[in-house]
Amino acid sequence: MKTLIIIPAYNEEGSIAGVIRDIRRHTPEADIIVVNDGSTDRTEQIAEADGAKVLTLPYNVGIGGGMQTGYLYAQRMGYDIAVQMDADGQHPAEELPKLIAKAKDYDLVIGSRYVETTSYRSSRLRRIGMVFFSGLVSLVTGQRFTDTTSGFRAAGRKVIELYADYYPMDYPEVESIVYLKRKGCRITEVATEMHDRQAGKSSITPWKSVYYMIKVTLAVLMSAIRYDRTAVSKP
């Protein structure tokens, strides 16, 4: 099974080297691609020095466009499994084998903080948002999800193709689950530990989180009622 680890990175020079080293230690057989989304710091040089392949976008396209570049690469290069992982050290590499093993039986495996009790703790506001989105997605898809905002995921070939074709531009995690369910993908969650970020700071500010809630809710509802044109042409 050809496996690719996709790490989208925007100004992550402080943590990228550690993340790459951890991946090497726990899944030496997997290839690593860092999608450098127009960083203005030394992210590209550091990732290359650590032996990772780097795709450098000429300007900052945002998390959705960056992540899709990784999936597009996985699709073109014929990878069977693509794992997406944050560059800030939130997602521990020791959980990778667990995700990759499950990805043989499912189209998408989501690393969840909440399936079982893990040591992850977050602010109350953040928890409310997560409970809201879990409820919304569970309602719309008819499948129970505990951690819809998790960006720690392993995708099989079917999902690689679908994500290369369409991926939401910003705040993509929640909507991309609904999109896959609509396309008839089998999705599961596994319990994974998550760390606090090791360097840099979260991009979510209070105003942005209001926009985030509204935008994602609209996107999820629209995705749920969208007429599926491609399903007719692609069996």
Partner 1 sequence: MMIYVLSVVLAFLFLLLVLELVRRQKLKEQYSLLWILFSAVLFIVSFNVSFIEWIAARLGVKYAPAILFLFGLLFCFAFILHLTIVVTRLTAQVLRLTQELTILKEREALHGQND
The yes or no reply on residue 2 touching partner 1 (CB under 8 A) is no
Task: Give whichever of 152 and 167 is closer to partner 1, judged by the CB atom.
Answer: 167
Among 4, 19, 61, 220, binds partner 1 (CB under 8 A): 61
Among 22, 41, 42, 72, binds partner 1 (CB under 8 A): 72
Among 56, 118, 146, 209, binds partner 1 (CB under 8 A): 56
The yes or no reply on residue 169 touching partner 1 (CB under 8 A) is yes
Residue 38, by phi and psi: left (phi above 0), alpha (psi -120 to 50) or beta? left
Smallest gap from Cβ 8 to partner 1, in A, equals 12
Give the gyration radius of the chain's Cα atoms: 17
Task: Give whichever of 169 and 204 is closer to partner 1, judged by the CB atom.
Answer: 169
Sign of CA dihedral 202, 148, 219, 160: positive
Beta bridge partners of 112: 191
The yes or no reply on residue 170 touching partner 1 (CB under 8 A) is no
Contacts of 202 (CB under 8 A, 6+ apart): none
The yes or no reply on residue 65 touching partner 1 (CB under 8 A) is yes
Number of residues counted as binding partner 1 (CB under 8 A): 15
Among 11, 15, 39, 68, binds partner 1 (CB under 8 A): 68
Instruction: State phi, psi for 25 to the nearest 5 degrees.
Output: -70, -40
Task: Give whichever of 147 and 175 is closer to partner 1, judged by the CB atom.
Answer: 175
- Kindly write down the DSSP assignment for every residue of 74-119, as one continuous string: HHHTT-SEEEE--TTS-S-GGGHHHHHHHTTTSSEEEEESTTTT-S
The yes or no reply on residue 206 touching partner 1 (CB under 8 A) is no
Two structure tokens written together for 63: 């998390």
| Contact (Cβ atoms closer than 8 angstroms) between residue 39 and residue 66 | no
Among 10, 73, 79, 179, binds partner 1 (CB under 8 A): 73
